[in-house]
Amino acid sequence: MTDYLATIRGVLPNGRPWSTSRHITSAQSEAALLTTWGNAWTTQWNLAVTGFGVAYTAGTTVTQYEVATLNGTMNKISKSTSTPALAGTDANSAGAQGTAVIIDWQSAGTLKRQRGRQKMPAPAVDMSVDGVLTNTAATNFKANIDAIATAIRADGSTLFVFNRYKTVTDGAAPFTKTVLIGNALVRDQLGSQNKRERKVPKTYH
C-alpha cells in the first residue's frame, strides 16, 4: 500500500485559485488513483440536480486533478495530473470569497489529531441564508462528498490524517497515521478561508 495526496484545484470568480485535498492509502498505482479520484469528482460535479456544479456560478471552475506519491515523512516524491474543464451552473451571484463550506471527518479516535477537515469554496448566494447553508445545499454537499469517499474506498483504499512534525502530548510520533471512517460531516454554518485570504496581496487607497 502506498500513501498519496489527492488534490482538486480550480479558480474562483475573482480569479484566485482554490483547492482541497485528502490523504489516501491505496494499492492502486499513482496513475490509477488519479483516474479514480478524477472520475469521482467529475461525476459528483456534473449531477444535473444535486451535483457540486449546481451550487456554484460559472466563475467557479475545476481545472486540475492531482495525485502525488508520498514518502515516509509525507513529502511528495512524484505526481500525476489531469486537466478537467468543469464550471458551475448557478445563475445567481457568487458567494463571499472569504467564506467556505466546512467538511469534517471522524476516526475511531477522539483526539484532535485524529480528525480531518477540508474546505470547499463558498457556493452561490442562493445556497445559504445569513451564513447558513440551506437544508438542500447541505444535504447535497454531504451526499457528493460521501459518494467520492465511497468511490475511493471501493477497492480497500482508506482516507487518513497524520500527526505533523513533532511528538504530541499523547506520545504519538511524527507522521503517525489515523484512518478516517464513516461519512463526512458538512457544517451548516459557512466558515472562513483565513489561510487563503492571508496570501492575497493587500491594496490601499
| pLDDT for res 109 | 74
pLDDT-based confidence at 149, cuts 50/70/90? very high
| pLDDT for res 203 | 59
More confident residue, 132 or 193: 132
Collapsing DSSP to helix, strand or coil, 148 comes out as helix
Q: Is the pLDDT of residue 198 over 60?
A: no
Q: Is the pLDDT of residue 167 over 70?
A: no
Residue 205 covered by a domain: no
Residue 204 covered by a domain: no
Residue 203 covered by a domain: no
- Angstrom distance (rounded) from CA 80 to CA 67: 6
Q: What total number of domains does the chain contain?
A: 1
pLDDT-based confidence at 116, cuts 50/70/90? confident
| pLDDT for res 201 | 62
Residue 45 exposure: Cα atoms within 13 Å on the Cβ side: 22
Cα-based angle 49, 10, 127 (whole degrees, multiple of 5): 40
pLDDT digit string, tens, across residues 38-88? 999 999 999 999 999 999 999 999 999 999 999 998 999 999 999 999 999
Give the residue-averaged pLDDT of 8-20: 94
pLDDT-based confidence at 169, cuts 50/70/90? low
Q: Is there a contact between 33 and 75 (Cβ–Cβ < 8 Å)? A: no
Q: Is the pLDDT of residue 194 over 90?
A: no
| pLDDT for res 3 | 96
Give the residue-averaged pLDDT of 32-40: 97
Residue 48 covered by a domain: yes
pLDDT-based confidence at 176, cuts 50/70/90? confident
pLDDT-based confidence at 98, cuts 50/70/90? confident
Domain interval for residue 51: 2-198
Residue 138 covered by a domain: yes
Question: How high does pLDDT run on average in the chain?
Answer: 90
pLDDT-based confidence at 172, cuts 50/70/90? confident
Sequence-ordered list of residues with C-beta below 8 angstroms from that of 66, at least 6 positions apart, any chain:
5, 6, 7, 8, 9, 34, 79, 80, 81
pLDDT-based confidence at 165, cuts 50/70/90? low
| pLDDT for res 197 | 52
Residue 11 covered by a domain: yes
